[in-house]
Every structure is written in structure tokens, then in C-alpha cells.
Structure 1
């Protein structure tokens, strides 16, 4: 597989989405078949430890182990690549929140936490192996800029973990590296053929210090995964993304993949921060907006056409800079979700054709 045209479809089995996907003719189809027909060759699926944990702020969705195995079997049956995204949490993990699974809260040392992380990684990969649905690529954590396993939820409120067990990248770097290596080791042992990804947000930002930390620690991984959302100010300009990809490949000797990107096809506010940030980040250093992207009243618009144009801009930039591919995020959500790539009726939006090479 040369270039990855990837799509995160993790929520396709959630009740508000399940069974509602249709092709252009209005015929109900498996979303993975629809995606493959539109040029997608890689699917990304997340797994949470216990998404029904009553301490979560809300129930985030169905991405438990049982659901994951069923999804992965369908993905592999279609001959698609499979990227497994470990959140190592009962809830969403991202730079602002990295909550330890409730079942691991009894751990009082970092070694105990590392063991739990290793066991869970092995358990998930063993279940996938038994189902003949092993992943081709494995993420050890999700957007781990701030760390991994740094807090916990209590009645919906996020609280910090003790520094003794916290995996903060800045305050407890020894634990942070220990946990990442524990996950990597378990993944290598359980699924030796898979590529290992470490996934950071702010793809066009200043994140070299984290990659330097991984290099100094001798972490054994293959791919630098980057989130790049132009509507997020901290993700930087698209020219900075291109520079980062080139520098990261050369400096760290790793492949680079855009693990998440998106653009809204609609907005409640035509002057929203999303569009202000997207306009700034999609403007080249010469002052011109990336070619093919529509601008109205000085702002990059939210439209089906621009959804495709922005994703294509990210993909083309990644490819020209030597990256292996990209994945969209949130495209499977229905119900007036502004980053979705299907209509409320489950029909593919025209932007879904962006995956066709």
C-alpha cells in the first residue's frame, strides 16, 4: 500500500449512526463498503477500556473491545488497512484530558500502572488475533502531547493523578516514557507485524521537544502520527506542517502520517473562530490562501466543497512533504455534526470523493 487514504470510522456502530449509511443510490450499505468504493484504503478504529464507566462526564460511545472486534473483522474482510487507536482511558483522550481507566485507580506505583497498560494492550490484540482481525498499525495513546494517564474522573469531574503514578510529559517524564514503552513492548510481542505509531496533536506546531524525548529514551516506534486541524489555532500554518513533516522524517528517521484532519461543511456562525483559525492556518507565508479553497468575505468558508478542498490541501501537503498518508476524523457522525461526511439521511456528501486518487 503506497499512500494511505484513511478514515476514522470508530462511531459507525453507535446507536445514532448504526445501520443508517447509504450509497449514492440510497441503498443501505456497510459504511466500510461505501468508504472503500470512494477510495478509502485504511480505517482507523479507537478502543476505550470501559466507556460505560459511571464516573465519565457522559457515555462517549460504543468503542469497547467487543465492538472493536466486530468492526475490525468487517474491515479486514474488505481488504482494508486497519489502524488501532488505544486511548488508554474510559473516555476521550486528547491534549486536555488523559484520564486513567477507573479499573486501574487502585495502582499505587508506576510499575503497577505500566503492568496494567501492558496487560490491556495484550488483551485487546489477543482478541483481535483470535478473530483474525489484527491491526496493521497501532497507536500507543491518542494525542499524547500532555502525557498519558495523567488524571481520573470522579462523578464526571476530571481530577489530577498523584505525581507518583501520573504520566505527565512535563511533570513526570520518567513515567510517561515508561508507559509508552510498556505499550510498545506489549504491541511488538502480540502483533509483531504491525507498525507502531506515537500520535501528537498540533502537527504544524512546536512539538520537537516531545520527539526529542522519545529519541533520547530510545523508544522503539515506527511512525510519527500528527493531528492537523486547520481550525485549531495551535495546529499552525499549513506551510509549517510541511516543514515539520520534512524535518521529522530527517531528524528522527520515522515515517509520518496525518492521523487526524477535518473541516466543517456547515457552521452556525460564518465568522466563527473555527473559520478565522482555518483562514489563518491555510494561508501561505506569501499571503495567499491554499489553491482551490474558497474564501468569502475574507474567510475560508464552511461548505461541502471546502470540506473536500481543505482535506485535499492537507493530503497534498503531506504527500509532497514525504508523509505516508492521512486520516480524516469525525466523518462517520450523522445528525447535523458539522465535520461529518454523510448527510443526516446517511447519504455520502460529495466531499467523500476526496479520497479518490
Structure 2
């Protein structure tokens, strides 16, 4: 098993995601003169930014990401326009977020996402993901694809199998599906920097039991890493932050033929309205202590 290159606790803050991909911003004419209100608002925004200090010690291996799963839908169907904090239109949102410190663009992909009534691709489709990944890569950003292994978004208690899959065949189908996704991404010149296996898994990957689920993750991770792509796992936040130790230990034992599950990143989805500062500190310390340097 390859050495873990970097272990991170991924903080998924709903407010950040909304700000990056969900806020409706109406276009304004370039010929309209700014009124007193606009000038005051811009000045206030600039003053507000001075309250925040730059965070030091963040290396190149740290994932500073934003979820752009809705991007194609917003751009093509909702005709959204993105603007910076001064109200100035951003011509290329990918180049802009990169200039603001974001280094990774993520997209979620479902197995059989349902199209809308007009037959448009779901925001979770692989086709939409390919387009977004290519735009992000062109802007010099790293990219991440989260494979849901479901037909819809998955959460801690909701890991529903795709249509046509059952628990007995889930692992075999998941392996074949992963191979096909990577093949399609390569053909489209949209190979991501990283593939995240599952989303908010809670001891129930592919609806399997703990051991079988972790073993399936290990099998999939091998396919991803053999393709030259970094592998990540996404877990739901455990009730007690220190319980992440159990997950790390299980991954270390998963699938004896692989001497554990090989991965580059381990992510834990936490939310500010549920997990306090002490929870985050304990989680971070446990991951660094129990996972760093594992073979």
C-alpha cells in the first residue's frame, strides 16, 4: 500500500458552497454610472475584508475547494452572471476563484441521474461534470470528482443504491462503473486530479456491512490509483470526533490482499451549525495522529 501523501479533514461549509455556486446575481449594464449607494457598499465591502487575516501554513497539498456541481445548470439554463465583492462582473469564474485562493473545483456525479422534463442533463450527470472539469483545468485549477454510487445525492443515513443494483452485486457493479467513468473522462480529456469515493459514507458504503464496505472502497481505490489519479474517501462526521479513529483503523485492515485501503486523502464532512470548534480540533488531531505516515 502506498504511503499516504496527505491527510486532511475537509470542512464542507454550506454557506461557502452557496456563495460560490448558488447565489443569483443579475447582470448590470457597463454604461450605468455608480450611484452613492453603490460606492458606499463597495467601500464597506473593502473595509470588511480588512478584518480577515490570511491563513498561513497552508501547503500545496491542502485542498481548498468549492463545489461546482450546479455550474452547467446555472450557466446554460439559469443564465447566471458572477460578480466579485465590488459588483464587477467576472468574465471567467474559474480564473476568479483561483485568484481568491481556491485551488480545487469539485463536481458530484450520479450513476443514473434523472433528466428534467425538457430532457436536459441533470446537474449530477457525468456529461456536465466533463464540461466543468475541462473549464476548471483550463484555468489552472486542480479538480475532484465525487462518485456517489447512487442515482442521487447521498448522506450519512442515505446511501441508496442505483437503479438495477442490489447489495449482492453492488461491489462488482461499482468496480465496473468506476472503470467506465475513468475511461470516459480520459476520452474527454477531463481526467481529474482526484476522485472521491462515496459521499458522507457512514459505515454503509454500497449498503454493505462495515468490513465489506471498507473492502469495496479499497478495491475501487486501487482502480483509481492505478489510473494515475489520487484517491480520496468521504465520510460523514461520527457522533464523537474521536470515533474517526475506528474508521481509520478499519481502512488499515480492509481487504487483506491490499494490506489495507490505499488513499491519498480522507475527508470528513462537518457543518458549522452542528459541530463546534472543539469537535473540529479533536477530529483534526485524531486524523493526524492515527493516519499520518501509515503504510
TM-score, normalisation: structure 1: 0.56
Question: 1:183: which partner in 2?
Answer: 220
Superposition map of 1:166-177 within 5 A: 167=208, 172-177=209-214
Q: Is 1:227 the equivalent of 2:269?
A: yes
- How many residue pairs match? The answer is 222
Q: Is 1:49 the equivalent of 2:91?
A: no
Question: 2:81: which partner in 1?
Answer: 21
- Which residue of the other structure, out of 104, 108, 118, is the alignment partner of 2:165? 104
Higher relative contact order (CA 8 A, sep 6+): 2
Unmatched tracts of structure 1, length 5 or more:
151-166, 256-357
User: Does the 8 Å CA contact 2:113/2:152 hold for their aligned counterparts?
Assistant: yes
Question: 2:204: which partner in 1?
Answer: 147
CA distance in 2 between partners of 1:99 and 1:142 (Å): 11
State the shift of 1:238 in Å: 1.4
Superposition map of 1:127-146 within 5 A: 127-146=184-203
Unmatched tracts of structure 2, length 5 or more:
1-59, 255-259
Q: Is 1:250 the equivalent of 2:289?
A: yes
- Which residue of the other structure, out of 80, 89, 95, is the alignment partner of 1:33? 95
CA distance in 2 between partners of 1:79 and 1:18 (Å): 26
Question: 1:90: which partner in 2?
Answer: 151
CA distance in 2 between partners of 1:9 and 1:175 (Å): 31
State the shift of 1:60 in Å: 11
Question: 1:75: which partner in 2?
Answer: 136
Provide closer, same or farther for how the CA distance between residues 9 and 174 of structure 1 changes in structure 2, counting only shifts above 3 A.
same
Higher-helix-fraction structure: 2
Which region of structure 1 is more displaced relative to structure 2, 15-24 or 37-46?
A: 15-24
Question: 1:162: which partner in 2?
Answer: none
Give a deviation string over 1:77-98, Cα, whole Å, max 9, x none.
1110111111110011110200
Secondary structure (helix, strand or coil) at the match of 1:103 reads: coil
State the shift of 1:53 in Å: 7.6
TM-score, normalisation: structure 2: 0.67
Which region of structure 1 is more displaced relative to structure 2, 194-203 or 74-83?
A: 194-203
User: Does the 8 Å CA contact 2:121/2:128 hold for their aligned counterparts?
Assistant: no
CA distance in 2 between partners of 1:86 and 1:200 (Å): 13
User: Does the 8 Å CA contact 2:65/2:104 hold for their aligned counterparts?
Assistant: yes
User: Does the 8 Å CA contact 1:53/1:102 hold for their aligned counterparts?
Assistant: no
